[in-house]
């Protein structure tokens, strides 16, 4: 029997043929005879050479943002956020943008495989594979309970539900199916349980918060729902003065999220709890007379009074004054939101930290203002970590006969100290539904590759009232099958009646569930079919709204008290530095972190790509005799890792920081748990760091991270809200005129978080080639946008991080243009700085003369290993070696929109043209439009007092206006 998606979409198989029709840019121009193969039957919704969009869901992280997949001639070429989806609202993060590369990954499995006697995986037929599995299941069931286990990523939807059904059918208990999320915010759930008996993840609405304090929760990178929270933070930004949202970052390390903060409380690793308790103490203290404090909080003071401020500030590693300052701010600025813990602050006392933070929210009356319970769908929540451990133990003890692994990677995403890899080796039959090699599939005996999300049916419920629907945007590339489908077929082969499911195939199963959702919306539409069609076109069923304040969970009596004492400080063993591990946007928890874009695009904080690194503060580096680029060994009680050092002033002197998402950090994590929730304690170890010799040249982007007094990135404050701009009125020549449009862009640096989503989007839209680590270390990074990150004015000076997303400024007086001998670059009538690849001879003079250095040169021919070339955007030339290239403001999109407008006989509407970077920006920091149209959003922004042009004193007249970051003085 065939895959339902093929049945349902049989038509799409023709699109492959259509591919032959479109002149696909990039293939070498040959005059040799070409074949043109017509359709057998023309698909009615396809016009070759024009895009076709499908709504589906991003599965790169549990946030579950809705996406729109743009397809051309039947192949998905670009992912964009679904503007109707309440979570992402049309935005997508860097990882989401890169998701499409998993679809075309060259190393993707071509079909089912089985490990032969020689220990190698060999292709095998689906029937044979499924037979093998069913036999094994029958045999395993004889061995009694717990012999058949399943590890899966959170699947809040059909897939999960069906897995549960299947496991029941084969006689498994609920805990035999293990939901694994390495970044599971279990402490939040545990704290909710303890305080309000609500085992839930709270949902935040930061739009209303006037002050936000994050205790190491990287809510702009990976924490809970980063795209959503980045947008919410941005809504409170971009204005000077009182009503601008203030963000305070409490952590030993200034992370990317910290870059958006107005204040950084350099708490020592583990000091976050002391800070939180200190805050609570200060707020509850009647002496400080904080108005409108929740009575519950006041009641806690007697207990809190026992805490000695001096001790608190010692444990926190910050002066008491700093805590008081923050307390005062929170007292004044209501409502606020206090977030945490995140991975970097998730220690042995994570649940207590989570609870104290929640108590602070309660005390300040943030509950039901900015912090909500009752929105966690509690669909398929990650299992308690204790279960993970017991599973590993069972596997090691040989009690597990069959292990089904579904898009989880226990061997590659859990601390090495857990020895999950070894344990897997003890299981007779490991079955993986993974579609790409990873440490777990490399240990699997049977690989039954699942579809990529863009090839499959399904649904995801990330939030109560949000159901995002998966639908195939294209026919599967390889001989893969939906995991649910495989289970269904295996079930049919099993001798247990319970496993013979009523649905002919998995597609029908998803549809029956879809009907269930559709019921809700019934009435708005004549019939279910209409609802389902509509939902499929729009991408989901949404009845999402923040709950009204009535169902207030009251603090359990006496629940708070046990969180109000400082735990004994841990013995200083294992080394003289605190080990800080932190997640990054691009590496995530490590799954799919090897995708080309995710490795090529540099991390904003270190500007390093391709490799993991160890951060040390300048003072510590000096003490250890380490310079950026040297190899250092990081040793803890758990293990040792050797990486290259990056000296970073945004880190405490008593800490060393490693990025998560790779084996290095996991190797040094000791098997310590959070007391309250049992979750992994990412923050517990102390590490010894030693120099281990010189390293290879670093694949680093940054030259000097200091502005050297040049005022490149400018800032404003309430005191000085307007910028002084150079007088450029004395012109030598008349400005070239732009008869129709003058395309321009405005980038709000007060909103920009440096999340790199725009960069990856640009790679995807413009066929920007990936050149690899050597190229990166040679300064041959090809990205059309790069995140320039300045740490201050002079080395050793005050740390003031300023981001400057640097892309072609489309100057009116572009220095690059007159120096080109062959007119390969010039100024168009619409004010764009055109680069004509097929005219370029590659003198590189334009790049030399570009003050912004935004032009990238093709030092060699770019490689797009099959089938990655299928992702290439047919509307953009693939550049050959020896050619200069650069940002074009996505001219292909401009021309597309202008073309549409012509067809409909109307002028181009403002906001109709959206370059890839602007489209995906979670913070909506980028605006694009016509500067001639005074009503356009970009014109309004360009006119703001915060506006400035990069290096504008050169009179290049950039078309990009940067809106200065707002830096308020610390409030008294």
Partner 1 sequence: MRVLPAAAASALAGALALLAACRAPPPPEQPIRFSHRIHAGDNHIGCTSCHGYAERGPVAGIPSMARCQGCHKFVKEDQENPAITAEIKALLQKLEDGTAVEWVRVHRVPDHVFFTHERHVLGGVRCQECHGEVERMEVMRQVSPLTMGWCLECHRRKQAEKPLERARLTDCWTCHK
Partner 2 sequence: MSLSFERLQATVRATHGRPGRGYWILLSLSAALAAWGGWAYSLIVRNGLVLTGLERPGGWGNLITDFVFWVGIAHSGTLISAILFLFRAKFRTAVYRVAEMMTVFAVMTAGLYPIFHLGRPWFAYWLFPYPNERGIWVNFRSPLIWDVFAISTYFIVSTVFLLVGVAPDAAALRDGATGWRRKLYGLLAFGWRGTDEQWRHYTRAYLFFAAFATPLVVSVHSVVSWDFAVSILPGWHSTLFPPYFVAGAILSGVAMVIVILVPLRRWLHLEEIITPHHLDMLSRLVLLTSLIVTYSYSTEILTALGEPASDPERSTFLYRMTGDYAPLFWLMVTCNCVGPALLLSGKVRRSIPAIFAISLLVNVGMWLERFNIVVTSLAHDRLPFDWRVYTPTWVEWAMTFGAFGWFFFWFLVGLKVLPPVSIAEMKEDLAHAAHASGEVAHAG
Partner 3 sequence: MPVEPGVLGSFAEPAAAARAVRALRAGGFADVRVAMPAPFPEVVAAIGKPRSLIDFITFPGAIVGLLCGIALTVGTSLAWPLVTGGKPIVSVPPFVIVIFEVTVLIGSLTNLLAMSAGTWHGGRARFFPAHQKFNADRIGVFAVGGEPARAERLLRESGAEEVGRVG
- Please report, as ranges, the residues that interact with partner 2 according to CB under 8 A: 701-712, 775, 778-781, 788-790, 804, 806, 815, 818-823, 839-845, 847-849, 851-853, 855-861, 880-884, 951, 954
As a whole number of angstroms, the distance between CA 748 and CA 960 comes to 11
- Quote the least distance from Cβ 837 to partner 1, whole Å: 7
Q: Quick one: which of 814, 870, 913, 960 contacts partner 3 (CB under 8 A)?
A: 814
Q: Which is nearer to partner 2, 820 or 931 (CB)?
A: 820
**E strands, 698-835, where?**
715-716, 743-748, 786-792, 799-806, 825-827, 833-835
Q: Which of residues 928-957 bind partner 3 (CB under 8 A)?
A: 957
- Cβ pair 241, 216 in contact under 8 A: no
21 contacts partner 1 (rule: CB under 8 A): yes
Residue 250: CB atoms within 10 A of its CB come to 31
Q: Which is nearer to partner 3, 869 or 955 (CB)?
A: 955
The 3-state DSSP class for residue 323 equals helix
Three-state secondary structure of 931-956: CCCCCCHHHHHHCCCCEECCCHHHCC
Q: Which is nearer to partner 2, 709 or 935 (CB)?
A: 709
Say how many residues touch partner 3, by CB under 8 A: 17
- Quote the least distance from Cβ 829 to partner 3, whole Å: 8
Binding mask 855-884 for partner 1 (x = CB under 8 A): --------------------xxx-------
As a whole number of angstroms, the distance between CA 559 and CA 562 comes to 7
- Cβ pair 417, 431 in contact under 8 A: no
Q: Which stretch binds partner 3 (CB under 8 A): 306-314, 439-447, 662-670, 820-828?
A: 820-828
- Cβ pair 753, 256 in contact under 8 A: yes
- Cβ pair 265, 238 in contact under 8 A: no
- Cβ pair 684, 672 in contact under 8 A: yes
- Quote the least distance from Cβ 949 to partner 3, whole Å: 14
Copy the structure tokens of residue 110.
């071509």
825 contacts partner 3 (rule: CB under 8 A): yes
Max distance between CA atoms of the chain, in angstroms, equals: 90
As a whole number of angstroms, the distance between CA 361 and CA 375 comes to 17
Q: Which is nearer to partner 2, 847 or 900 (CB)?
A: 847
DSSP H helical segments within 706-752, as ranges? none
As a whole number of angstroms, the distance between CA 316 and CA 328 comes to 18
Q: Which is nearer to partner 3, 180 or 832 (CB)?
A: 832
Q: Which of residues 723-782 bind partner 3 (CB under 8 A)?
A: 733-736
Residue 35 contact, options partner 3, partner 2, partner 1, none, Cβ 5-8 Å cut-off depending on partner type: partner 1
- Quote the least distance from Cβ 815 to partner 1, whole Å: 19
888 contacts partner 1 (rule: CB under 8 A): yes
- Closest to 680 (Cα-Cα) out of 249, 266, 382: 382
- Quote the least distance from Cβ 829 to partner 1, whole Å: 4
33 contacts partner 1 (rule: CB under 8 A): yes
Q: Which of residues 728-757 bind partner 1 (CB under 8 A)?
A: 739-740
Residue 827 contact, options partner 2, partner 3, partner 1, none, Cβ 5-8 Å cut-off depending on partner type: partner 3
Residue 533 contact, options partner 2, partner 3, partner 1, none, Cβ 5-8 Å cut-off depending on partner type: none
- Quote the least distance from Cβ 630 to partner 1, whole Å: 45
The 3-state DSSP class for residue 6 equals helix
As a whole number of angstroms, the distance between CA 287 and CA 893 comes to 61
Q: Which is nearer to partner 1, 29 or 943 (CB)?
A: 29
Residue 736 contact, options partner 2, partner 1, partner 3, none, Cβ 5-8 Å cut-off depending on partner type: partner 3
837 contacts partner 1 (rule: CB under 8 A): yes
- Quote the least distance from Cβ 826 to partner 1, whole Å: 7
820 contacts partner 3 (rule: CB under 8 A): yes
- Closest to 435 (Cα-Cα) out of 461, 409, 412: 409
Check whether the bond before 754 is cis (ω within 30° of 0).
no
Q: Which of residues 937-956 bind partner 1 (CB under 8 A)?
A: none
- Cβ pair 565, 68 in contact under 8 A: no
Q: Which is nearer to partner 3, 554 or 735 (CB)?
A: 735
* CA dihedral sign, ordered 600, 605, 607, 609: negative
Q: Quick one: which of 6, 8, 19, 24 contacts partner 1 (CB under 8 A)?
A: 24
Q: Which helix (H) or strand (E) holds 78?
A: strand 75-81
As a whole number of angstroms, the distance between CA 675 and CA 351 comes to 7
Residue 739 contact, options partner 3, partner 1, partner 2, none, Cβ 5-8 Å cut-off depending on partner type: partner 1
Q: Which stretch binds partner 1 (CB under 8 A): 38-46, 54-62, 130-138, 476-484?
A: 38-46
Q: Which is nearer to partner 1, 111 or 882 (CB)?
A: 882
Residue 853 contact, options partner 1, partner 3, partner 2, none, Cβ 5-8 Å cut-off depending on partner type: partner 2
The 3-state DSSP class for residue 486 equals helix
Q: Quick one: which of 3, 5, 12, 48 contacts partner 1 (CB under 8 A)?
A: 48
Work out the end-to-end distance of the chain between its first and last CA atoms, rounded to an integer number of angstroms.
72
* CA dihedral sign, ordered 224, 613, 790, 620: positive
- Quote the least distance from Cβ 830 to partner 2, whole Å: 20
Residue with tokens 């072609």: 808
DSSP state of 365: T
DSSP state of 570: P
- Quote the least distance from Cβ 26 to partner 1, whole Å: 7
**E strands, 621-767, where?**
631-635, 640-647, 655-659, 686-691, 715-716, 743-748
Q: Which is nearer to partner 1, 452 or 742 (CB)?
A: 742
Residue 813 contact, options partner 1, partner 3, partner 2, none, Cβ 5-8 Å cut-off depending on partner type: partner 3
Copy the structure tokens of residue 439.
């440490």
Q: Which helix (H) or strand (E) holds 632?
A: strand 631-635
37 contacts partner 1 (rule: CB under 8 A): yes
Q: Quick one: which of 2, 16, 27, 704 contacts partner 1 (CB under 8 A)?
A: 27
Residue with tokens 């020896």: 882
619 contacts partner 1 (rule: CB under 8 A): no
Residue 231 contact, options partner 2, partner 3, partner 1, none, Cβ 5-8 Å cut-off depending on partner type: none
DSSP string, 784-798: SSEEEEEEESSTTS-
CA 627 to chain centre: 30
813 contacts partner 3 (rule: CB under 8 A): yes
Residue 902 contact, options partner 1, partner 3, partner 2, none, Cβ 5-8 Å cut-off depending on partner type: partner 1
- Quote the least distance from Cβ 936 to partner 1, whole Å: 20
CA 376 to chain centre: 20
- Quote the least distance from Cβ 21 to partner 1, whole Å: 5
- Quote the least distance from Cβ 670 to partner 2, whole Å: 37
CA 655 to chain centre: 25
Strand partners, 745: 928, 960
Residue 34 contact, options partner 1, partner 2, partner 3, none, Cβ 5-8 Å cut-off depending on partner type: partner 1
Burial of 554 (0-12, 13-18, 19+ CB in 10 A): exposed
- Quote the least distance from Cβ 21 to partner 2, whole Å: 28
31 contacts partner 1 (rule: CB under 8 A): yes
Q: Which is nearer to partner 1, 17 or 417 (CB)?
A: 17
What angle in degrees, to the nearest 10, is found between the helix axes of 483-493 and 158-169? Answer: 20
Residue 936 contact, options partner 1, partner 3, partner 2, none, Cβ 5-8 Å cut-off depending on partner type: none
Q: Quick one: which of 10, 49, 425, 795 contacts partner 1 (CB under 8 A)?
A: 49
Q: Given the rule CB under 8 A, which residues bind partner 3?
A: 733-736, 812-818, 820, 823, 825-827, 957
């Amino acid at each position: 029997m065939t895959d339902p998606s093929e049945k349902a979409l049989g038509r799409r198989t023709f699109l492959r043929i259509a591919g032959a029709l479109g002149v696909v840019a990039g293939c070498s121009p040959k005059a040799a005879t070409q074949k043109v193969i017509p359709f057998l039957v023309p698909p009615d919704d396809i016009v070759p050479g024009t895009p076709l969009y499908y709504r589906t869901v991003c599965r790169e992280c549990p946030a579950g943002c809705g996406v729109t997949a743009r397809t051309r001639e039947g192949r998905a070429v670009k992912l964009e956020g679904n503007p109707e989806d309440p979570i992402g609202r049309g935005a997508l993060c860097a990882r989401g943008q890169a998701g499409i590369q998993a679809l075309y990954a060259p190393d993707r499995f071509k079909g089912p495989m089985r490990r032969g006697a020689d220990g190698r995986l060999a292709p095998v037929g689906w029937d044979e594979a499924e037979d093998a599995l069913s036999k094994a299941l029958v045999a395993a069931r004889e061995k009694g309970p717990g012999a058949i286990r399943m590890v899966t990523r959170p699947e809040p939807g059909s897939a999960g539900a069906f897995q549960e059904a299947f496991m029941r059918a084969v006689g498994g208990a609920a805990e035999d199916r293990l939901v694994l999320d390495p970044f599971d915010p279990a402490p939040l759930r545990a704290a909710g349980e303890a305080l309000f008996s609500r085992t839930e993840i709270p949902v935040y609405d930061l739009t209303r918060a006037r002050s936000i304090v994050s205790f190491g929760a990287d809510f702009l990178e990976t924490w809970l729902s980063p795209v959503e929270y980045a947008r919410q933070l941005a809504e409170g930004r971009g204005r000077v003065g009182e009503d601008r949202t203030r963000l305070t970052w409490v952590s030993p390390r200034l992370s990317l999220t910290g870059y958006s903060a107005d204040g950084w409380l350099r708490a020592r690793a583990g000091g976050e709890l002391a800070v939180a308790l200190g805050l609570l103490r200060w707020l509850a203290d009647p002496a400080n007379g904080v108005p409108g404090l929740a009575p519950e909080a006041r009641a806690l003071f007697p207990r809190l009074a026992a805490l000695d401020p001096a001790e608190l500030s010692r444990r926190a590693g910050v002066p008491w004054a700093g805590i008081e300052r923050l307390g005062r701010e929170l007292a004044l600025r209501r409502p606020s939101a206090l977030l945490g813990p995140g991975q970097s602050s998730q220690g042995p006392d994570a649940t207590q930290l989570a609870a104290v933070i929640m108590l602070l929210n309660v005390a300040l009356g943030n509950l039901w203002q900015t912090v909500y319970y009752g929105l966690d769908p509690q669909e398929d929540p990650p299992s308690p970590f204790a279960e993970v451990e017991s599973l590993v133990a069972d596997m090691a003890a040989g009690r597990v006969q069959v292990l089904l692994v579904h898009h989880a990677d226990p061997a590659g995403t859990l601390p090495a100290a857990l020895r999950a890899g070894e344990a897997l080796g003890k299981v007779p039959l490991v079955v993986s539904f993974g579609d790409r090699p990873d440490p777990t599939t490399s240990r699997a005996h049977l690989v039954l590759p699942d579809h990529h999300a863009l090839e499959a049916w399904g649904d995801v419920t990330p939030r109560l009232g949000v159901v995002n629907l998966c639908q195939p945007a294209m026919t599967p590339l390889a001989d893969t099958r939906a995991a649910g489908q495989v289970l269904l077929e295996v079930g049919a082969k099993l001798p247990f009646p319970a496993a013979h499911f009523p649905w002919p195939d998995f597609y029908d199963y998803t549809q029956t569930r879809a009907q269930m959702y559709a019921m809700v919306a019934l009435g708005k539409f004549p019939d279910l079919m209409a609802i389902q069609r509509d939902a499929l076109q729009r991408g989901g069923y949404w009845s999402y709204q923040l709950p009204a304040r009535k169902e207030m969970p009251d603090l359990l009596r006496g629940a708070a008290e046990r969180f109000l004492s400082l735990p004994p400080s841990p013995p200083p063993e294992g080394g003289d530095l605190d080990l800080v591990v932190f997640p990054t946007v691009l590496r995530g928890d490590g799954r799919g972190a090897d995708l080309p874009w995710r490795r090529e695009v540099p991390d904003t904080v270190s500007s390093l790509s391709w490799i993991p690194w160890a951060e040390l503060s300048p003072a510590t580096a000096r003490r250890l005799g380490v310079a950026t680029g040297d190899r250092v060994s990081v040793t803890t009680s758990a293990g040792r890792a050797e990486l290259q050092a990056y000296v970073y002033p945004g880190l405490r002197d008593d800490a060393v920081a490693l990025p998560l998402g790779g084996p290095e950090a996991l190797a040094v994590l000791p098997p310590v748990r959070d007391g309250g929730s049992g979750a992994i304690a990412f923050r517990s170890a102390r590490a010894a760091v030693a120099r281990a010799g010189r390293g290879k040249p670093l694949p680093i982007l940054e030259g000097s991270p200091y502005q050297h007094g040049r005022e490149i990135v400018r800032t404003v404050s309430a005191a000085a809200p307007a910028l002084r701009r150079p007088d450029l009125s004395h012109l030598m020549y008349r400005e070239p005129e732009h008869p129709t449009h003058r395309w321009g862009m405005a980038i709000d640096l007060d909103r920009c978080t440096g999340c790199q989503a725009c960069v990856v989007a640009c790679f995807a839209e413009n066929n920007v080639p990936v050149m690899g680590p050597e190229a990166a270390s040679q300064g041959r990074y090809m990205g059309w946008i790069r995140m320039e990150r300045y740490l201050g004015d002079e080395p050793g000076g005050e740390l003031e991080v300023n981001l400057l997303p640097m892309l072609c400024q489309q100057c009116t007086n572009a220095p690059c243009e007159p120096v080109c001998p062959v007119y390969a670059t010039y100024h168009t009538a619409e004010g764009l700085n055109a680069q004509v690849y097929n005219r370029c001879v590659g003198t590189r003079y334009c790049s030399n003369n570009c003050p912004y250095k935004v032009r990238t040169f093709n030092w060699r021919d770019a490689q797009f290993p099959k089938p990655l070339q299928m992702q290439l955007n047919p509307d953009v030339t693939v550049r050959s070696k020896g050619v200069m290239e650069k940002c074009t403001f996505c001219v292909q999109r401009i021309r597309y929109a202008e073309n549409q407008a012509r067809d409909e006989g109307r002028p181009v509407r403002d906001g109709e043209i959206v370059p890839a970077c602007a489209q995906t920006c979670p913070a909506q920091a980028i605006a694009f439009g016509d500067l001639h149209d005074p009503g356009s959003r970009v014109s309004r922004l360009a006119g703001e007092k915060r506006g400035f042009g990069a290096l504008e004193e050169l009179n290049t007249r950039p078309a990009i206006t940067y809106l200065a970051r707002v830096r308020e003085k610390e409030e008294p």
